[in-house]
Amino acid sequence: AGLGRLRPAILGVVGLLLTAIGSAQGVQGVDPKDLLHPPADSWLTFHGDYSGRRHTSLAEITPQNVGALQQVWRFQTGQNQAIKASPILANGILYVTTPDNIWAVDARTAKELWHYQNPPNNAFHIGHRGAAVYKETVYLTTPDCHLIALNAKDGKVKWNIVIADFKKGYWSTNAPLIVGNHVMVGVSGDFDNLPGQLKSVDADTGATQWIFYSTPPPGQKEPASGGATGGQMWTTGTYDPVLNLVYVGTGNPTPVLNGGVRPGNNPWTCSIVALNPDTGKLVWGFQASPHDTHDWDASEVPVLADANFRGQPRKLLMQASRNGYFFVLDRTNGKSLLTVPFATVNWAKGIDAEGHPIPDPAKYPSKDGVLVAPNESGATNFRPPSFDPKTGLFIVSAQDGYGIYFFKSDHGAYGWAGADYGVAGKAFLRAIDYQTGKIVWNHPIGDGAGTAGVLTSDTGLTFSGDITGNAMAFRTSDGATLWHQAIGRMNNGPITYQLDGRQYVVVGGGSSLYAFALPKGETPK
CA torsion sign for 274, 161, 84, 171 is: negative
DSSP element (H, E) containing 481: strand 481-486
Contact predicate 437/448, CB 8 Å: no
Residue from 103, 97, 86, 7 nearest 44 by CA = 86
Q: Where are the alpha helices (DSSP H) in 186-314?
A: none
The answer to whether the peptide bond before residue 494 is cis (omega within 30 degrees of 0) is no
Residues 217-228, buried b or exposed e (16+ Cβ, 10 A)?
eeeeeeeebbbb
User: How many CB atoms sit inside 10 A of residue 24's CB?
Assistant: 10
CA nearest neighbour of 268 among 245, 243, 309, 297: 297
Residue 394 contacts residue 51 (beta carbons within 8 Å)? no
**Contact present, 506 and 521 (Cβ < 8 Å):** no
CA 156 to chain centre: 26
Name, in order, each residue with C-beta under 8 angstroms of 176's C-beta and a sequence gap of 6 or more: 131, 132, 139, 141, 147, 183, 184, 185, 236
Catalytic residue among 49, 190, 295, 297: 295
CA Rg, the chain, in Å? 23
Instruction: Look up 295 and say whether it is catalytic.
Output: yes
* Residue 209, H or E segment: strand 208-213
CA distance 214 to 275: 11
Question: Whole-angstrom Cα distance, residue 282 to residue 250?
Answer: 13
Do residues 432 and 320 touch, judged by C-beta distance below 8 A?
A: yes
244 residue type, one letter: N
Other C-beta atoms within 10 Å of 146: how many? 21
* Distance in Å from the first CA to the final CA of the chain: 66
The pairing of strands 132-134 and 137-141 is antiparallel
Q: Is 344 helix (H, G, I), strand (E, B) or coil?
A: coil
Rounded Cα gap, residues 351 and 387, in angstroms: 24
Q: What is the DSSP letter of 43?
A: B
Query: What is the helix (H) or strand (E) element at residue 32, kind and residue range?
Result: helix 32-36
Give the integer Cα–Cα distance in Å for 270 and 50: 22
What is the spatial distance between Cα 84 and Cα 519, in angstroms, rounded to a whole number? 28
Compute the distance between CA of residue 487 and CA of residue 485 in angstroms, rounded to an integer: 6
- State the catalytic residues: 295
